Amino acid sequence: MELRQLKYFLKAQELLSFTEAAKHLNISQSTLSQQIKQLETELDVSLFNRIGKQITLTGPGRLFTEYAEQSVRKAEDGKLMLQDLKKIRVGTVTIGVAY
């Protein structure tokens, strides 16, 4: 399971359209469909009902949404933390004491 697949899943479930999700993500619709299918294969469950060009979430898809959101949010939080860490200056402080 890849973070990118989770992001694709979340956009598709938000818009309920692979075509519109692909446009928002600046990828082809076939790429989005392939990645969602790979995610479903890995999870061994259908996340979407597909009826022509219309999609709806399955029960497992609805349940998985919360976990996907948390995973993406945690990954983004971790990235921000590391970026902040790079901004912290590290150095040596010398303290002199007279007595």
Give the number of other CB atoms < 10 A from CB of residue 21: 24
**Domains in the chain, start-ordered, CATH in brackets?**
3-87 (1.10.10.10)
Convert the pLDDT of each residue in 23-68 to its tens digit: 999 999 999 999 999 999 999 999 999 998 899 999 999 999 999 9
pTM of the predicted model as reported, rounded to 2 decimal places: 0.83
Convert the pLDDT of each residue in 67-81 to its tens digit: 999 999 999 999 999
pLDDT at 85: 83
Tell me the pLDDT band of 94, cut-offs 50, 70 and 90. Answer: confident
